A and B are shown apart, each in its own frame.
Chain A
């Protein structure tokens, strides 16, 4: 298994400028917009529905390219997902988008009944997730969506780490039957992967190898985890970084192979750790490999207005903060590394 993990860390064709100050940045939602247009070209059954946020959720490209296959439902998130369920019952492949705070924030029961229990082929896209939404404040900074969606049977949860991966995830979801939730972020964030980086639904990827700590991250926190790993290496701690783009179903094999080697685990997400990626990894470890785990993320708290970068500092969701947290934790549980 170790060999497997090591093998996957090579030839990933990550962004060569990844660790440089001038690393390219793009909002994750932009990649979704590109992917949706391409998915629409590939399959005429694909339709897009939006709840009055077409441009900000980046559905505008699709709406322009395929006006007859775009449905504007207005400010009505319950209707958004239930109309989509009906269209799926009629053979369409609906993608529905809004801010994550409203969808899946407001329409959870409709998603549960008409999409998950009903097993309709609807893809829910929640944009503007996490505290990095910024000035809009706590009402619009969705932090509970991973938990809300992860708990639903038949639902898959995908949190791409950058715009390039978001594009691939969108295409993969369009081609894969069944309910799914795709989580996007608003602010431009560093691009970690390239077009050549492999992607498949359900697979986590070891982006960087290490023997002292496994750092499992999703979304924009993958970049922060890589930054943390860089800092930790200076302090003599080798952190293995896993991009867990599919939070559900969780890639047990890749994560367990890594933690069996490192014996100490940290998760990172821009979401509530309870029920989020942190919750998912805690469940996995608890049942298969009980090991010390520390979870970076939002801990039973709401966000607030502010500049996105200030907020990440404030809530200690940056690479340097994570490195400090990780170092203390590793020295406690791996005295051999002290």
Chain B
């Protein structure tokens, strides 16, 4: 895919997210929208995977640690062909495979069950360590995590572990959007200097604009060349990206749009912020 095609796909995924959250009537808006570009890059340019064979043994593994942004993963998976796009509207409904937080046993391709914060990096490290034991060379483990969950001690236990075992087959991506439920991260519990922290823990750190496809993809490729160290990509993102009344506003961390807000959000996404005419005009 070209960058333009990736941008169009990310826009479609953002519209899916708005639709899903509106239909669900609950869920998280800011994080999924902010990570739409990273997930588009992962599913359409980075990951070695087969949507028609989600258990393909040779696949890369993507662990989503901050499970609450799973709508973006569901949308990317549906658009990649894992399951029908129509199923997205079952999000959070009784009997759905699309649980509010990812449930591995319900939907193939999720790799693990997650939601409670701070545990994903450990699980990703466990897979990476197992592969290291078995001499697996051509597969990588990716872990998407939030900045807020780096207030969890479990995260730093994993950071020590991955560095100790030199898990060079592990790439973590932090959604550095600077918000958490109660407010800006630096007010709730300051995380900076995040780069220095990860470097001090023995990780190779790359900082990127999480909305720039060239930077996202380049960073993922660069990570494969780093030897003896796990890689942390600090992806600077805008929470609520693509919907102006949600952008940068922590109040949208944990709530969905209502019908009216969803209509406005979809209008904005379909017109690329007014740059093109909407079909509604």
Residues in A lying within 8 Å of B, measured CB to CB: 47, 68-69, 71, 73-74, 76, 78-79, 82-92, 94, 109-110, 113-114, 117-119
Contact = CB atoms under 8 A, between A and B. Distances in A.
- Among B116, B133, B157, chain A packs the most CB atoms within 10 A around the CB of B157
Contact of B129 (A74, A87, A91, A114): A87
B112 A89 contact: yes
A73 B127 contact: no
Interface stretch (B118-126, B201-209, B229-237): B118-126
18 contacts: A47-B130, A47-B133, A76-B161, A78-B122, A82-B119, A84-B126, A86-B112, A86-B123, A86-B125, A87-B129, A89-B61, A89-B123, A90-B61, A90-B127, A90-B131, A113-B119, A114-B114, A119-B105
Given A69-B133, A82-B119, A82-B158, A118 B126 contact: no
A91 B104 CA distance: 15
Interface in B93-121: 103-105, 111-116, 118-119
A192 B119 CA distance: 41
Interface of B is mostly: helix
Q: Which are the 3 A-B pairs with shortest beta-carbon distances?
A: A86-B126, A82-B122, A79-B157
Interface in B59-106: 61, 63, 103-105
Contact of A118 (B112, B125, B164): B112
Interface of B: 61, 63, 103-105, 111-116, 118-119, 122-131, 133, 153-154, 157-158, 160-161, 164-165
Given A47-B133, A68-B133, A110 B114 contact: no
- Among B105, B128, B161, chain A packs the most CB atoms within 10 A around the CB of B161
A109 B126 contact: no
A19 to B, nearest CB: 47
Given A82-B123, A89-B126, A76 B157 contact: yes
A82 B165 CA distance: 16
Given A47-B133, A78-B154, A83 B114 contact: no
A91 B124 CA distance: 13
